Amino acid sequence: MDQILPILVATLIAGTPLVYAALGELVVERAGVLNMGVEGMMVIGAVIAFIVMMASGSLFLAVLAAMLAATLLAFMFAVLTVSFRANQVAVGLALTIFGTSLASFIGKSYIGMAIVMEPSPVSAFAARIPLVGAVLGQLHPLVWFSWIFAAGVWCFLQKTRTGLIVRAVGESPTSAHALGYPVNRIRYLAVLFGGAAAGVAGAYVSIIYTSLWTEGLIAGRGWIAVALVVFATWRPIRCFLGAYLFGGATIAQLFAQSAGISLPSELMSALPYLVTIIVLVLISRNAAVMRLNVPASLGKPFAAEG
């Protein structure tokens, strides 16, 4: 147990930003929109959260600012792809390039600075809970909230009428429009939700996970989030578990090094991405499952006739 507990805690900590980002992107794709700009939105969220945290010392304001900044980028994406029906892949790639470049510019003067986080009193209280306190006490409340967030996304998509409408828009926007549903408005809201979730993920990385800002901080997590949606075959629970699979692969390199396993550091750093690629290849081999679950109108713009 002394060996398993640190691995479990580290996995939960490392996988949390992917829970937010991947589940946010899952809702976007369920609405029929493919946003490959998650990386750019996470980077902007990370740098804005770090700047606001340094200035105010308020985690709430930092996360809120990150959500607003990432949502603004998501709004730009929605205007171009939903209203003007631009190519979603091209705009998403441009959004990532723009977000990464902008974050590098505005965060240049903050490189090398670090945030000193005070222990959360909520975590200290949770540490006294029998059985689970040993784990909960070592986790930031944002980690706990990610579990609530995952459950909320699952309930929304699977158990609510509004979630059913979102899925209907992703499957057949023409039919949804014929029934009187505002397809483009629903897609706008889904994209903005995905942007806000990516902002929270970025804020978590810069404030909680690393407590610093540097270029390349997100390190491809936005791309992994997009890949996880495919890996999960657009199912929230699988997406949630896949985030921790990547988190476990991320921290495996650290425990392997501490255990004295002599492997090249470059290979160890590539391990999380290698695991993700292998899993995606294995999942993608089942073409029937992929066709059954992929939203039929994913990536296809919609124009209301008449």
User: In the predicted model, is pLDDT for residue 279 greater than 80?
Assistant: no
Choice among 9-13, 111-115, 199-203, 251-255 with the minimum mean pLDDT: 251-255
In this prediction, residue 130 has a pLDDT band, given cuts at 50, 70 and 90, of confident
What the block records as the tokens of 105 is 């510019």
pLDDT of residue 125: 76
264 falls within a domain: yes
For residue 306, being part of any structural domain is answered with: no
Q: Which residues contact 129 (CB under 8 A, 6 or more apart)?
A: 136
Distance CA 7, CA 255 (A): 8
Min mean pLDDT across 77-81, 99-103, 162-166, 287-291 is at 287-291
Q: What is the largest CA-CA distance in the chain?
A: 68
Burial class of residue 258 (count of CB atoms within 10 Å of its CB; 0-12, 13-18, 19+): exposed
Token digits for 190? 């889904």
Q: Residue 118 pLDDT > 90, yes or no?
A: no
The type of residue at 125 is F
**Angstrom distance (rounded) from CA 103 to CA 262:** 36
Say if 112 falls within a structural domain: yes
* Number of domains, the chain: 1
Amino acid letter at 203? A
pLDDT-based confidence at residue 305 (cuts at 50, 70, 90)? low
Closest C-alpha among 272, 160, 165 to residue 227:
272
For 212, the 3-state DSSP assignment is strand
Is residue 302 domain-resident?
A: no
Is 303 within a domain? no
From residue 46, alpha-carbon distances to 52, 80, 180 in Å are 10, 24, 39
What is the token pair recorded at 303?
């124009």
Kindly report the number of other CB atoms within 10 A of residue 44's CB atom: 30
Alpha helices in the chain (DSSP H): 4-30, 38-56, 59-78, 88-106, 121-126, 133-136, 141-159, 161-171, 173-178, 183-203, 221-231, 236-258, 265-284, 287-293
Mean pLDDT of 224-239: 91
- CATH at residue 152: 1.10.3470
Question: How far out from the chain centre does Cα 36 lie?
Answer: 12
Which residue range forms the structural domain that includes residue 188? 4-116+123-293
Does 237 reside within a domain? yes
Backbone angles phi, psi at 114, to 5 degrees: -140, 150
Task: Render pLDDT for 158-196 as a digit per residue (tens, 0 to 9).
Answer: 999 999 999 999 999 999 999 999 999 999 999 999 999
Q: Considering the domain boundaries, does residue 301 fall inside one?
A: no
Q: Answer yes or no: is 300 within a domain.
A: no
